[in-house]
């Protein structure tokens, strides 16, 4: 309580003091550019994914435009030790998605390399994925996919290097006949998600759907 008084939670956008369980104040919330995509259904993200790999469904919660509020939110989650932001963003997702008859069997988030995770102290997708798992009663597996090579942050790479994922990911166990919801923070080129999806698809008679917090232009 004393810390809350000395270091109150502030809105990421306007810096107003706000509730500790909020990322942005109520006045700034309307500035978040939500996509309002349908899951399942056709949308811009699904069209992009279909050009790269067979996808069942795809959903992006926000638009990741230059200098917009969603960019601040994702940056805060990834680089400012605001792991709890993942839980808040998951709550936003649950307000928009009803899986209905397209409910996946397993939630899998894009992994960090162990060295990168040690440097950051956490994987920004874990609490997000676990919160969704609890709400939708879908199991998750943080160990199914492993990242084989350490690399610098995607945000620091140019577009050409982001296209070069190579053999950066592999399955740690055999899976077959499963519908996997693959989770990431931002869809940019789609190369990372495509590489992991092909690993899952080639590993057995599996299906892949995609969920990202935000979708780049």
Residue range(s) in the chain whose domain bears CATH number 3.40.50: 32-216
User: pLDDT band at residue 1, thresholds of 50, 70 and 90?
Assistant: very low
User: Could you tell me which residue, 83 or 93, shows the higher pLDDT?
Assistant: 93
Q: Give CATH for domain 32-216.
A: 3.40.50
DSSP one-letter string for 72-121: HHHHHHHHSS-TTHHHHHHHHHHTT---GGG--SEEEEPPPPHHHHHHHS
The confidence score (pLDDT) of residue 185 equals 92
Residues 154-195: tens digit of each pLDDT: 544 455 544 454 578 899 999 999 999 999 999 999 999 999
The confidence score (pLDDT) of residue 83 equals 65
Write out 7-23 in H/E/C secondary structure: CCCECCCCCCECCCCCC
User: pLDDT band at residue 23, thresholds of 50, 70 and 90?
Assistant: confident
The confidence score (pLDDT) of residue 215 equals 92
Look at residues 107, 110, 105, 137 and name the one whose alpha carbon lies nearest to residue 123. Answer: 110
Lowest mean pLDDT among 49-53, 163-167, 208-212: 163-167
User: Could you tell me which residue, 148 or 155, shows the higher pLDDT?
Assistant: 148
What does DSSP assign to residue 34? B
Instruction: Work out the mean pLDDT of the chain and round it to a whole number.
Output: 84
Residues 119-135: tens digit of each pLDDT: 666 677 888 999 999 99
What does DSSP assign to residue 124? T
Residues 78 and 124: their CA atoms lie apart, in Å, by 6
């Amino acid at each position: 309580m004393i810390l809350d008084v000395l270091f109150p939670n502030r809105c990421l956008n306007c810096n107003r003091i706000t509730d500790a369980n909020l990322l942005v104040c109520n006045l700034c919330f309307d500035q978040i550019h939500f996509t309002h995509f349908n899951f399942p259904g056709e949308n811009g993200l699904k069209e992009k994914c279909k050009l790269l790999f067979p996808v069942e469904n795809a959903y992006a919660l926000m638009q990741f435009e230059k200098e917009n509020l969603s960019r601040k939110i994702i940056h805060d989650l990834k680089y400012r030790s605001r792991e709890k932001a993942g839980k808040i963003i998951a709550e936003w997702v649950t307000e928009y998605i009803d899986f209905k008859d397209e409910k996946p069997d397993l939630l899998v988030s894009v992994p960090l390399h162990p060295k990168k995770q040690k440097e950051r102290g956490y994987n920004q997708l874990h609490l997000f994925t676990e919160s969704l798992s609890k709400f939708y009663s879908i199991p998750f597996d943080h160990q199914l996919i492993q990242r084989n090579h350490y690399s610098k942050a995607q945000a620091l790479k140019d577009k050409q290097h982001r296209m070069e994922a190579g053999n950066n990911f592999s399955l740690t166990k055999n899976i077959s006949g499963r519908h996997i919801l693959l989770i990431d923070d931002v869809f940019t080129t789609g190369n990372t998600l495509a590489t992991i999806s092909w690993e899952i698809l080639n590993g057995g008679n599996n299906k892949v759907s995609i969920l990202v917090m935000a979708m780049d232009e």
